[in-house]
């Protein structure tokens, strides 16, 4: 199985467009557990898959409407605002 879902973006190139009326950014999760953040994101927007990664892990550079990277520190806490992309 691939580590990431197939990318879907359509004509969208920004989180607001992709969200289609649902939430696209989660600033309130900064400092929270990465796993809690993943569950929260996927509950609040069922169209995305949240992927928890350590800050030093590589990321895919393409923009996808169905993906949210959740960057965590060495303690497993969210470092920056997760958003669709």
Total domain count for the chain?
A: 1
User: Would you write out the chain's pLDDT as a tens digit for each of its 85 residues?
Assistant: 446 667 777 777 888 888 888 899 999 999 999 999 999 999 999 999 999 998 767 666 778 889 999 999 999 999 999 999 8
**37 inside domain:** yes
**3 inside domain:** no
The torsion of the CA quartet 67, 62, 79, 30, rounded to 10 degrees, works out to -40
**29 inside domain:** yes
- Single pTM value for the model: 0.84
Can you give the pLDDT at residue 75? 96
Where residue 32 sits, what CATH number does that domain have?
3.30.10.10
**77 inside domain:** no
**83 inside domain:** no
**59 inside domain:** yes
Can you give the pLDDT at residue 59? 66
How far separated are the first and last CA of the chain, in Å rounded?
A: 21
């Amino acid at each position: 199985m691939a580590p990431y879902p197939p990318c879907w973006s359509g004509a969208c190139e920004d989180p607001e467009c992709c969200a289609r009326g649902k939430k696209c950014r989660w600033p309130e999760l900064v400092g929270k557990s990465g796993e809690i953040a993943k569950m929260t994101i996927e509950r609040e927007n069922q169209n995305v898959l949240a992927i928890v990664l350590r800050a030093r892990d590589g990321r895919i550079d393409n923009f996808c409407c169905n993906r949210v990277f959740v960057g965590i520190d060495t303690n497993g806490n969210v470092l920056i605002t997760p958003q669709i992309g």
